[in-house]
Structure 1
Amino acid sequence: MRVAVTGTPGTGKTTATEILDTDLDVVHLNEAIREKGLYERVDEERDSVVVDLDAASEWIGDRDDIVIDSHLAHHLDADRVVVLRCRPDVLEERLIERGEGEASAAENAESEALDVILSEAVDAHGAESVYEIEATERTPGDVALEIQSVVDGEREPSAGEVSYIDYL
Structure 2
Amino acid sequence: MRVAVTGTPGTGKTTASEHVETDLGVIHLNEVIEREGFTQGVDDERGSTIADLDAVERWLDGREDVLVESHLAHHVPVDRVIVLRCHPETIEQRLTERGESPESARENAESEVLDVILTEAVDRQGIDSVYEIETTDRSPGAVAEEIEAVIAGDRDPSAGTVSYVEYL
Kindly report which structure 2 residues correspond to 1:127-138, keeping only aligned pairs within 5 A, or say none: 127-138=127-138
Separation (CA, whole Å) in 1 of partners of 2:38 and 2:25 = 20
Which sits farther off after the overlay, 53-62 or 40-49? 40-49
1:98 matched to 2:101: no
Separation (CA, whole Å) in 2 of partners of 1:126 and 1:46 = 29
Kindly report which structure 2 residues correspond to 1:1-168, keeping only aligned pairs within 5 A, or say none: 1-168=1-168
Unaligned runs of 5+ in 1: none
- Percent sequence identity is 62
Separation (CA, whole Å) in 2 of partners of 1:137 and 1:161 = 17
Which sits farther off after the overlay, 104-113 or 37-46? 37-46
Give the match's secondary structure for 2:64: coil
Please give the TM-score of this superposition, normalised by the length of structure 2.
0.98
Amino acid at match of 2:98: R
Runs of 4+ in 1 over 4 A off after TM superposition: none
What CA deviation, in whole Å up to 9, does each residue of 1:113-142 have, x standing for no partner? Answer: 000000110111111100000000110010
Separation (CA, whole Å) in 1 of partners of 2:59 and 2:101 = 30
Please give the TM-score of this superposition, normalised by the length of structure 1.
0.98
Give the match's secondary structure for 2:155: coil
Shift of the alpha carbon at 1:19?
1.6
What CA deviation, in whole Å up to 9, does each residue of 1:13-33 have, x standing for no partner? Answer: 000111211000000000111
Which sits farther off after the overlay, 44-53 or 113-122? 44-53
Give the match's secondary structure for 1:143: helix
Number of residue equivalences: 168
Separation (CA, whole Å) in 2 of partners of 1:161 and 1:137 = 17
Amino acid at match of 1:24: L
Q: Aligned-pair RMSD on alpha carbons? A: 0.8
Give the match's secondary structure for 1:14: helix
Shift of the alpha carbon at 1:59?
1.1
Shift of the alpha carbon at 1:68?
0.2
Unaligned runs of 5+ in 2: none
Separation (CA, whole Å) in 1 of partners of 2:133 and 2:19 = 16
Shift of the alpha carbon at 1:47?
2.6
Give the match's secondary structure for 1:26: strand
